[in-house]
A and B are shown apart, each in its own frame.
Chain A
Amino acid sequence: MNIRLKISFVVLLGAVLLGGIGSFYVWFNSFIDKRQHIGLSIMTIEALERQLDAQVLHSAFVLYGNQDSIIHSIKTLQTTTKALSDNPDFTADYPNSARDLERYKTIVSIKIDSIYRFQSANAAIKNATSSIPSLKAEALRLFSTQKSNEEVFLLALTQIGGGVFIAKGGLDAALISTLSQQAQMLPCDTFSTKGKRHLCDTVQSNLRVIGEYFPDYVQGIDRLTTSGSYEALATLRTSFAHENETLKVRIQGYALGLGIFYLLLLGLIITMLLRSEKESRTDRLTSLGNRKKYEEAIRSGDFGSLVLINIDRFKNYNDFYGVDVGDTLLCSVSAHFSSIVSPHSNAISLFRLGGDEFGLLFKPSILSQSNRIVQDILHYFETNPLCIDDLEIFISVTVASSEHAPFLETADMAMKKLKNSKNNAFITYDPAMNLREMIETNLIKLETLKDALSNNRILPHFQPIVSLSGSSLPKYESLARVLSPDGSIESIFSYITLLDDARLSGVLLRQMIEKTFSIMEDHIGEFSINLSSSDLDDVSTVNWILQRLEASPHCASRLIFEILENHIIDDYAPIERFIHQVRPYGCKIAIDDFGSGYSNFARLLNLSIDYLKIDASLIRPLATDPNAHAVVATIVAFARTANMQTIAEFVSDKEIYDAVVALGVDYSQGYYTGKPEALS
């Protein structure tokens, strides 16, 4: 998974978590609001009903009161109850409470009906009751105690009047019923006048009304406490509390879920961090530890030595077979390393430290075996090809080991030294090699060289090349000298490797050509200038040379380029092209250091060369070594056949000079025939 995908994933989960927290927050808030709202509604309902009870009792108590408040309370109670039962939050989240509320509504509506009936009864009974005293006053005016039936009436009216007040106060329906019956038995028909009969009828009517309405009156008051509405409300409250508890558990569950999700997310991020930490220490291709892991191992562990293994010319495999094969090759190599060191896997750690460089870190305990293991490795690759797809590839490795900290640096220096010397596959770092001092010296030299190049302190010295046939113009090889600020003059020789490494050879070449040309203006003869094959790979240098030749045709025609094969030439095309390009200016071509090991005879035939400069390694032992003698003879014969002339280098004494002359070499160059000197 790439990092962008990982980040998106974590961000997505984070967003989900945030959404979860947000929705929880909203839900929780709304839960609290709803709960409060509903709880208060229930409280309000109870308060309203108690208020209604008080108002009903009040209206029973006062003879003429304002009943608007009763109606107002009933309406408010009904609206509040309806609002709650229509509240979707209530019915959805509190189904049991909602059911209880419906039950309460039914009970309360019965109670309200009975209150309406109570109102009717109350008014009728009040009026009937309060008319009794005035009827009694009227009776006392009309009736006489002298007549027995009238006396009975007066007595009965008094008893009934008193009884009604007692019964009303005691809510005694039975007594009212008795009194009502007693009134109906009054002997109204026996009275003599219409006024008396009417009075008696009115008493009977009032008592009938009282008797008729009293049950509603009693029931109305009784229902206030016995309707069961308060019990229903209590049940509702219990259900509500219970359901709140259930909701609370759900909220806790949700919060817990969010918490767990949070921890999981945290765990995931930590896992991914750890993994990417681990990945950052692991080479993806070979799964070996990488440079970072190596550095950590060095910091934390105790190790005795590092063995660096470099695959020789790995770049060539990559270029030739392609990167895929190159990768497979690396894997295969790493697998072989692993299997070779596997018996000691607890004491040897294997790393891939660079593109084609592996490292084996040895613990002190196994130090004694390190040489044997290195030999095993070298031997394995010398004798076994790597099989990659259908290819069998033999590779070689260069090994540098060091027991001196810092391991990597010392082993690396040893490796460089080994690569430069090219004559061995294994080196062990030894402080006596002075590698570090060499590096420091190199750095100082590089500074000196740069300084000389930029301050016009490169001087050409000219060494004569003497014709042994005696009949030709003088020739000189132009050799670069470095003028130190203190006035001493140094050969360029010790700077040669630096020139290539620091990519300064082109600069030096230009200065040498310029200065040689200016000398040539005043001198006759041919002048040769050194040119390395790598200079010819640089198009800008070649173009500069061509322009310079164009500008000074009389110098160009006397110029010899000494081409040095300083490395294996894979591609001769740039050299061929250069030769073709400079020929029109009259330039000649020499091959420098011919016979030093690189040169390819067959290729040279195609290059139309003018001179072969025979390498010093063949000339120096000429007087003593018959083999060298034979080789030089062969070269001379070959050159003659190919119509080339030969130049012997390093002719340092008479013996060599004589041998050279005897072999028929065309020119001699060396201290015996002339030292390099400045020309004015």
Chain B
Amino acid sequence: MLSLKYYFTVIMLCTSTVGFSIEPITPIPLRIPYDSAKARLGQHLFFDPILSRDRSVACVSCHDFAHGGTDSRSVSSGVGGAQGSMQSPTVLNAVFNIAQFWNGRAATLEDQAMGPIHNPVEMAMSSDEVTSRLMHNPFYRQEFARIHGRSTITITDVAEVIAEYEKTLITPNSPFDRYLRHKAPLSAAAVRGYEFFKRAGCASCHNGVLVGGNSFQKFGVITPYPRKSNTDDRYALTGKERDKNVFKVPTLRNIAQTAPYFHDGSAQTLSEAIGIMSRHNVGIKPTQQEEGDLIAFLESLTAPLPATAKKP
């Protein structure tokens, strides 16, 4: 059985090379597998400020579903009103990212979930504080015990349920995905915008299921972009000069809802963002017509929220 499974995998991997999509963008899968009991518990935690030191912020504080799973502020604020340095990336469809955070420092959703909890300017909690607080809470103690059959709660358990919850936060039914799936027509403007998107070179970086999120690129290839010293870019990880202002390409899914834009939240509107990207990374200046089409295309990437994107 084992061997069959492996041969099957090898054959699938080999054949999948032939199956490259003609389009650079692929629709979000309608569903992906997850553990519903864990996801439900993760949903509770996501909305519960119990995970922050002064019980003032929850995950949802900076990943607001009303704003496409992001923060409407340029940079997020944590416990005691402390200010972060980066615009919070969306939690929607995060499961498809090459890695988590702007600079990809977390390989998995679990690793990511621990980041804000421990971050002194976000939730500012140690692992022990988290587990002890949850174990003293009758609801969580009971729910975790139901899942694992033991009375203790580890920090890994906490990360696991949050990650499991995030797997439910996918938005597969945007007009553009329905267009790709031949389920519904797209507005002419959006189709023109998509063509321009490909022709202008946007699709070189923004492709795949997330329309981004699958490579690291420099902000300001053509025209250099000013870098703040406290920016969490790839340089902050590698210390290599070339990695300055290099970030994970952000997803354009639900982009119309996630303003402000960029890692520093410097662009307030799509039009502004398009202008900055054109200048710094593509080296073009789209016409008004082109910009309008592009915005129409970007708006077609907005999908209904998943059923789990609300307080349980």
Contact = CB atoms under 8 A, between A and B. Distances in A.
Contacts of A124: 204, 217-218, 221
Q: Which of B25, B216, B222 gathers most chain A CB within 10 Å?
A: B222
B6 A206 contact: no
Given A37-B2, A65-B207, A206-B283, A48 B13 contact: yes
26 contacts: A33-B2, A40-B7, A43-B6, A43-B10, A47-B10, A55-B17, A64-B198, A64-B204, A64-B207, A67-B214, A67-B215, A68-B26, A68-B208, A69-B17, A71-B208, A76-B13, A116-B215, A120-B215, A120-B218, A126-B201, A127-B221, A127-B283, A130-B201, A131-B283, A205-B283, A213-B221
B215 A44 contact: no
Contacts of A63: 204
A646 interface: no
A130 to B, nearest CB: 6
B66 to A, nearest CB: 28
B214 A44 contact: no
A491 interface: no
Nearest to A80: B9
Contacts of A251: none
Contacts of B137: none
Given A65-B20, A128-B283, A205-B283, A36 B204 contact: no
A278 interface: no
B223 to A, nearest CB: 7
Given A37-B6, A116-B216, 15 more contacts: A41-B6, A44-B10, A54-B17, A64-B24, A66-B20, A66-B207, A67-B214, A68-B96, A69-B20, A70-B214, A76-B13, A120-B217, A124-B217, A124-B218, A134-B284
A36 B246 CA distance: 43
A123 B218 CA distance: 10
Contacts of A71: 98, 208, 214-215
A292 interface: no
Interface residues of A, number: 41
Interface of A: 33, 36-37, 40-41, 43-44, 47-48, 51, 54-55, 58, 63-71, 73, 76, 116, 119-120, 122-124, 126-128, 130-131, 134, 202, 205-206, 209, 213
Contacts of B221: 124, 127-128, 209, 213
Contacts of A119: 215-217
B289 interface: no
B121 interface: no
Contacts of A36: 2-3
B215 A66 contact: no
A124 B23 CA distance: 20
Contacts of B198: 64
Contact of B20 (A37, A58, A209): A58
A51 B15 CA distance: 9
Contacts of A40: 2-3, 6-7, 10
Contacts of A123: 201, 204-205, 215, 217
Given A40-B3, A65-B20, A119-B215, A47 B14 contact: yes
B264 to A, nearest CB: 20
B207 A51 contact: no
B222 A209 contact: yes
B6 to A, nearest CB: 4
Nearest to A206: B283
Contact of B222 (A51, A73, A126, A128): A128
B289 to A, nearest CB: 16
Nearest to A208: B222
A48 B222 CA distance: 34
A205 B218 CA distance: 15
Contacts of B284: 131, 134
A64 B223 CA distance: 21
B201 A127 contact: yes
Interface string B95-116: 0101000000000000000000
Contacts of A67: 207-208, 214-215
A445 to B, nearest CB: 88
A202 B283 contact: yes
A274 to B, nearest CB: 50
Contacts of A120: 215-218, 246
B282 interface: yes
A518 B304 CA distance: 133
Nearest to B11: A47
B26 to A, nearest CB: 6
B13 A47 contact: yes
Interface string B183-208: 00000000000000010010111011
B214 to A, nearest CB: 5
A68 B207 contact: yes
B209 interface: yes
A205 B214 contact: no
A203 B282 CA distance: 12
A123 B222 CA distance: 12
A33 B204 CA distance: 45
Nearest to A55: B17
B39 to A, nearest CB: 22
B21 interface: yes
A76 to B, nearest CB: 7
Top-7 shortest CB links A-B: A68-B208, A127-B201, A64-B203, A40-B6, A123-B204, A119-B215, A71-B214
Contacts of A126: 201, 204
A43 B8 CA distance: 12
Contacts of B214: 67-68, 70-71
B16 interface: yes
A205 B6 contact: no
A40 B8 CA distance: 11
Contacts of A70: 214
Nearest to A123: B204
Contacts of B10: 40, 43-44, 47
B49 to A, nearest CB: 33
B110 to A, nearest CB: 14
